[in-house]
Amino acid sequence: MKLNYKRTILVGMAFFLILAFWQAYDAIIPLILTNHFGLSQMASGAVMSIDNVLAVFMLPLFGALSDRSKSKHGKRTPFIFVGTIIAIAFFIVLTLIDNYQLAKVIGVGIPDMSQGVMSDDAYAEFIRTLTLDLTLDNPIPLIGFIATILVVLIAMAIFRSPAVALMPDVTIKPLRSKANAIINLTGTIGAILVLILGMVFSTSKNMYMEYTGYVLAVCAVMLIGFILFLIFVKEKKWSAEMEEESKLYGLDDAPTHEDEIAEKRKLSRGELLSLLLILASVALWYIGYNSITSKYSVYATDILGFDFNLTLIIAQAAAIVSYIPLGMISSKIGRKKTILAGVILLASAFFIGNFVTKTTPEVIMYPIFSIAGIGWAAINVNSYPMVVELARGGDVGKYTGYYYTASMAAQVVAPILSGFLYDLVGMRYMFFAFGTVFVIFSFITMLFVKHGDSKPLSKKSTLEHLDVD
Q: How far is CA 463 from CA 4, 250, 355, 460, 467, in A?
A: 16, 17, 54, 9, 7
* Cβ neighbours around 190 below 10 Å, total: 26
The 3 state secondary structure assigned to 209-270 is: CCCHHHHHHHHHHHHHHHHHHHHHCCHHHHHHHHHHHHHHCCCCCCCCHHHHHCCCCCCCHH
Q: Could you tell me which of 110, 137, 135, 138 has the C-alpha nearest to residue 124?
A: 110
Q: In 335-392, which ranges are continuous DSSP H helix?
A: 335-353, 365-388
- pLDDT, one tens digit per residue, over 139-163 is 999 999 999 999 999 999 898 888 8
Closest to 373 measured CA to CA, from 345, 408, 352: 345
pLDDT in tens, 193-223: 998 999 899 887 778 889 999 999 999 999 9
Going residue by residue through the chain (469 aa), what tens digit of pLDDT does each one get? Answer: 688 889 999 999 999 999 999 999 988 998 899 889 999 877 887 888 787 788 777 878 888 888 888 888 888 999 999 999 999 999 999 999 999 999 999 988 888 887 777 776 677 778 888 888 999 999 999 999 999 999 999 999 898 888 888 888 888 877 887 888 888 889 889 988 998 999 899 887 778 889 999 999 999 999 999 999 999 999 989 888 888 887 877 765 445 444 444 345 577 888 889 999 999 999 999 999 988 877 787 788 778 877 777 888 888 788 888 888 887 888 788 889 999 999 999 999 999 988 888 888 888 888 998 999 899 989 988 888 888 888 765 677 778 878 888 887 887 888 788 888 888 888 788 888 999 999 999 999 999 999 888 655 444 433 343 343 3
CA atoms within 13 A on the CB side of 389: 26
Q: Which domains does the chain have, with CATH numbers?
A: 5-466 (1.20.1250.20)
Burial of 418 from C-beta contacts in 10 A (0-12 / 13-18 / 19+): buried
Chain centroid to CA 102: 28
